[in-house]
Chains A and B, each alone.
Chain A
């Protein structure tokens, strides 16, 4: 049986001036899939995320989210359609409280207009209560509920990453794009985050597509991995296939001996 993919992109390309940043990129994410995107620095991974979320408009190619075509739409419209993301260089609403950051995400599903807001109508009250309730639950899931009244910018780094995920999940996405979710975390934090990412799929019925430099994590949890180099897709396959792919080894991992065995900590921070 053919199901509608949560996310499907075909032949995405974008050039900045003469530089081809991403060429002919395709991806298909089934509902609740967990896929990875890897590649050396400057390979175009974040550019792919920016294309998928409408920050950049692709020169060629099309993007479908849950069967609806979304390329050419504004970032905010794509978010409402069900795509959420986190950022490699964390972009929280720094002056706002932790809770308000998540509430901002949850508010995307609210229906009240300006007049109802001003009048505090019953629907408005119900929505605000629901937004707060859901946001607190999300903070609990991410384990940062005790910090809900602190300013987002005052959180430690790891908690800021968790808050970004909570905020993204609050928008009730079908697809969650995680840009280096464990960057800068220690081994213990990474282990916790790995468990969390795996649990997200069931708990929120969301398909996850993640960029990560931590090979141990990627090889461990991703079902399918796409490898980018200089904007080109050089391999797509299961972790085992990727580890044994000659082009990947040559272009990305470099030394064959270090690639076998998915030793989680071995490549940490590489």
Chain B
């Protein structure tokens, strides 16, 4: 039987088609993000477009956590910690960066406001700060990923929980945010400590729009899908299914797990940055504590550990439900707990398990019927 190397050498994909195949999902995704920003958002009105924004951020957080909890099977419950690192780092950069770079143009009264138009200088600063925040979160991912080499199951969960609480406690100890007129003469790095402490980082310029949220949603979904259907993703799933057998198949389980943590933390950092720059929210350590981590875990568990589409659906549903039943939002946790218990009894693998929407029987029947209708 021919070896893999021989087969690979014999097959030359058309570079043009490969290039198109590589790029079209992103191009289509950007088009969708533009459409959401320019058409869907205005059509929905302020209340519902705000909800759409929150759904997008929830998708970023839940799908990224799914890489660790779903694909690699390492149960992490400290995702809000990564979110907080990304959010605070990005806020620090856009808030103080705006004052330093754009100066008076971004200062209105005591507040720092958005500078420049769509994809203007301010937006670019925001995108850069998203990447910086995400990178710092990814570094934290390495630090948390390393103990996961030795720990599994409940023990790993406790470490990640502890991590989230440590980040929260550290942020609470920081100093108050400086007003624009107090910043002069201080270097950026000297301002790292001035991110608001327990009071929160209030006046972050509001750069998050539907376009940016769904831009990152699209990038993450493409990355998650390409990961899951690739050699690297199968390696993660193999580690989750049976670590000893995965090692015997030449998979370095340690490396796979740490890689999963890094990727998940990176996108959690993005989610945090989007959350921090969202209009009408206040970035504060209470908001991103244990409760937030659990909210994200519930989305992953309900949607199905390992199912991208399932987790997207769960993230959307669990974001919309509390809004629909606003007067009962006090009881949200009771409803969550009940829903979790019921799902765990009836479908312990989550709504979709490891499968995707298009793997379902009903979906096949539907598409088959549609195809038949198309035929003359």
Contacts and interface: CB of A to CB of B under 8 A. Distances in A.
Given A96-B234, A117-B232, A125 B251 contact: no
A117 B249 CA distance: 19
B251 A172 contact: no
A117 B250 contact: no
B5 to A, nearest CB: 7
Contact of A109 (B3, B242, B353): B3
Nearest to A79: B250
B3 A87 contact: no
Contacts, number: 140
The interface residues of chain B, by DSSP majority, are classed as helix
B309 to A, nearest CB: 16
Interface stretch (B13-21, B104-112, B272-280): B13-21
A130 B232 contact: no
Interface in B203-230: 223, 226-227, 230
Given A95-B241, A104-B238, A117 B251 contact: no
A93 B259 contact: no
B22 interface: yes
Interface string B1-30: 111110110011101001001100000000
B338 interface: no
Interface in A44-102: 53, 55, 74-77, 79-80, 84-85, 87, 91-96, 100
B247 A75 contact: yes
Interface string A206-235: 000000000000000000000000000000
A155 to B, nearest CB: 14
B235 A107 contact: yes
Given A85-B248, A171-B249, A117 B227 contact: yes
Contacts of A114: 232, 259
B242 A134 contact: no
Interface in A126-145: 126-131, 133-134, 137-138, 141
A134 B13 CA distance: 17
A125 B13 CA distance: 7
Nearest to A203: B1
A106 B250 CA distance: 10
B245 A126 contact: no
A92 B238 CA distance: 9
A167 interface: yes
Interface residues of B, number: 40
A186 interface: no
A105 interface: yes
Contact of B245 (A92, A119, A131): A92
B242 A104 contact: no
A131 B234 CA distance: 12
Contact of B1 (A87, A91, A92, A137): A137
B62 interface: no
Residue among B3, B223, B249 facing the most chain A CB atoms (10 A cut-off) = B249
Sorted from nearest, which 10 A-B pairs have the closest CB atoms?
A: A108-B250, A130-B7, A79-B250, A93-B241, A91-B245, A75-B247, A107-B231, A109-B4, A80-B250, A122-B18
Interface of A: 53, 55, 74-77, 79-80, 84-85, 87, 91-96, 100, 103-110, 112, 114, 117-131, 133-134, 137-138, 141, 167-168, 171-172, 203-204
Interface of B: 1-5, 7-8, 11-13, 15, 18, 21-22, 223, 226-227, 230-232, 234-235, 237-238, 241-242, 244-253, 259, 306, 353-354
